[in-house]
Structures are given as C-alpha cells and as structure tokens.
Amino acid sequence: MSEAAGTVVVIDDDYAMRLSCRKILEKTGFHVETFEDGIQGLEAIARLKPPLVVVDLKMPGLSGMEVIPRVRDIDPLIVVVVITGYATIDTAVEAMQNGAYDFLPKPFSPDELRLIVKRGMERHRLALESRQAEIERELMRRRFVTFVSHQLQTPLVAIHQYLDVLKQLEDSPEVQARRQEWFDRCLKRTEELQGIIKDWLTLSQLEGELARERVRVDLHQIVGDILATYEQMARAEGLTLENRLKENTCVVRGDRNCLSVLFDNLIVNAIKYNRPGGRVTVEGRAGNGEVFVSVQDTGIGIPEKYQAMIFDEFFRVKGEGAKTTTGTGLGLPICRRIAREVGGAVTVESQENVGSTFVVRLPAFREETAEAKAAGCGL
C-alpha cells in the first residue's frame, strides 16, 4: 500500500521513452511500472491503483486518448499526464477534456517530467484528502442524526410506555396506587421533550444566517434583569444572587436577545447545580479591548474528567448531584455558540463539591468611527 502511494505507471510504445521515464522518476524516489501498450497498462492500473499515470497519446492499438477515460473509470482520482509528440493545442485540449490532468510535449527535459509528476502527485494527495474528509463528514452527520433522534425519542418512549402499561393494567391495585405518580412523570417527561425541542431550535437558529442586530449592550443591565427573574426561585432554595457588575464597564456589541440567552443559561445552571443556602455571584472586568464576565456558584462542581465535554451537544454530567436535576444537554453548547458568534469564548473552572465559575470573554464595544459607519452602511 505504501509503495503504491508513490507508484507511477508509464505507458509508452517507445522503449527508449519508457527507459528514460523510469530512470528520471526512480531517481526522484518514485516506484515506476512501465508498459508498452494500453491494454497491459490498464490491467496494471486496475491492480495497482497508482496515484499517477503517464501515457503516450500516439500508440498502436489502444491510443492514449482512449486510455484516459478508462483510467478514470477505474478511479476518478488517478491523475493522468499525457505525453504528446505532436503538441498541437487541439490534441492537448482534447486530452484534458477527456480527463487528463496535464500534458507534456516531446521532447521534454528530465526536470519538466519531474515537475509535472510532482505536481500531479500533490493534486492526487489533495483529492484523496478531500474525499476522505467528505466520507468522515457524512459519517459524522449520520451518527449525529441518529444521536439527536435518540435524544428526542427517549422521553417519548418513557411516556408511551407508561400509557401502555396504564391501559393494560388499569384495574390492578398497584397501578391505581401509582397512577398519580405516573401522570406526574409523564408531564415531567413531556416538559423535558419540549425543552429539548426549544433548545434545539435556538441552537439551529444560531447556526443559520438570521439577521442579528449588533448594538451596544451593557451586560450590567442584562444580568440585572435575569437575576431579578430568578430572585423568587433562588429565595425558595435559600440562595443569594449577587450582581457585582458596574454600570458602563462591561459593554459589548451584539444581539441583546442572544446575549440574554447566554447569561440566562449560565445563571440558571448556577442556581440549579447549587446547594441550599449557597451563592451565585456575577462579576466583570474589562481590559485590552475585551470584557470578562464570570458567573460563579457554590454548588456541586464538575468532575475534572467531564470539564472538556460539557460544551458538547447533549452531554450531561452523570453523578449523584446531577441525577435529580433535569436538563436538555444543550444549554452550554448554546452559550458557546453565542459567544463565538461575536468573537468571544466561554470557559470553565470548577472544583467538585466547591463550585464552578464560568467565564465569558467578549470583545468590548468600540465607538465606530464615522468612516467605518459609512462603510458599514454600504455607502
């Protein structure tokens, strides 16, 4: 296989030509196989699948021009270089139209042959890489579709199974006793499914080309609004929420809704994965054209081995503390995507049973100059 990677097949009826091609190319490090007619050459090509073929156009029997499409039938990625003794533009163009990569008019120097073969090999390498990448992308896409379907199916299956059993065992005393509990679970799972669909939509919209505003946003205000929304929920858990952001210090350019979603997700996590009587603190600073806002909790923390994975779609930490909380596994991927959209990032520092700190880095808002404004308006 590794030998075939550097193999060049030369097809030429002229013995002297075959010999000189072999000498020149072997000196450059290629493995060379030579053949005196098209039929033999094609047999070898089908067997060896070489990256590159050099073929003389004018041969008795199968001509070079006829060999080209047959090589492409074997593998369209094989690069074909034609040698032509009567280098008219017309024959060269015809050969290229048939799928040849380039042509070499006789007589040619050793350097000319080497150069064209090296370029052809490079071309083959690139084509091979992009084919490989295409296959991998397709595999990823298929696996991902399977994965998303599974995530959507899971709560539905649980609900369906409960209903099936309720229908089947309607009159049994065990089921009578558990009926209420099961209905509650069905509702919970329905909410879970709705949450997944909602988050999935948000994520897809962020990926799309939706027109988003780029306006001056003071994060102090956004964070303040979000914390106010959760004040009651936090109080029920005995949590203290604190906004330490100063007005007009952490100011960015972005979409108000997207930035709200970002900080909403982080703050909800900080509340959900906290402990009774804990704190959620939002702090910020600016410098070097960037702002840094941290959302800190005093909760269960994230085991180190999971920290790299929490921004992956549908990943959820498995652990005693996380088991009881619901989540879609899409909140943090959404945060990451929003931050990246405006050239920022989200990172995490966490210690198990101590707490987690998520830091959002965003480019700071800069007053546009008159010229930039004009350019932005397309004038």
Partner 1 sequence: MAVQANVLVIDDDVDFVASIRAILESKGHRVTHADCGKEGLRKLAEIKPNVILLDVMMEDESAGYGVNQAIKYQGAYQAFRNIPIIMLSSIQESPDELYGRASEVDMIRPDLYLTKPVDPVRLIEVVERAAARAGSDAMA
Contacts with partner 1 by CB under 8 A lie at 143, 146-147, 149-150, 153-154, 156-162, 164-165, 168-169, 172, 174-175, 178, 182, 185, 189, 318
- Choose between 55 and 159: whose C-beta lies nearer to partner 1: 159
Minimal distance, residue 344 CB to partner 1, in Å: 30
Do the beta carbons of residue 87 and residue 74 sit within 8 Å? no
Nearest approach, Cβ of residue 162 and partner 1 (Å): 5
Q: Provide, rounded to whole angstroms, the least separation between the CB of residue 163 and partner 1.
A: 9
Find, among 203, 214, 207, the residue nearest to 261 by Cα.
203
| Least gap, CB of 158 to partner 1 (angstroms) | 4
3-state SS, the chain, equals CHHHHCEEEEECCCHHHHHHHHHHHHHCCCEEEEECCHHHHHHHHHHHCCCEEEEECCCCCCCHHHHHHHHHHHCCCCEEEEEECCCCHHHHHHHHHCCCCEEEECCCCHHHHHHHHHHHHHHHHHHHHHHHHHHHHHHHHHHHHHHHHHHHHHHHHHHHHHHHHHHHCCCCHHHHHHHHHHHHHHHHHHHHHHHHHHHHHHHHHHHCCCCCCCEEEEHHHHHHHHHHHHHHHHHHCCCEEEECCCCCCCEEEECHHHHHHHHHHHHHHHHHCCCCCCEEEEEEEEECCEEEEEEEECCCCCCHHHHCCCCCCCCCCCCHHHHCCCCCCCHHHHHHHHHHHCCCEEEEEEECCCEEEEEEEEEECCCCCHHHHHHHCCC
**Cβ proximity to partner 1, 47 vs 143, nearer residue:** 143
Number of Cβ within a 10 Å radius of residue 8:
25
Residue 140 CB, shortest distance to partner 1, in Å, is: 13
CA 213 to chain CA centroid, Å, is: 25
Rounded to a whole number of angstroms, the minimum distance from the CB of residue 150 to partner 1 is 5
Name which of 176 and 351 has its Cβ closer to partner 1.
176
Q: How far is the CB of 54 from partner 1 (least distance, A)?
A: 36
For the bound state, the minimum distance from the C-beta of residue 160 to partner 1, rounded and expressed in Å, comes to 4
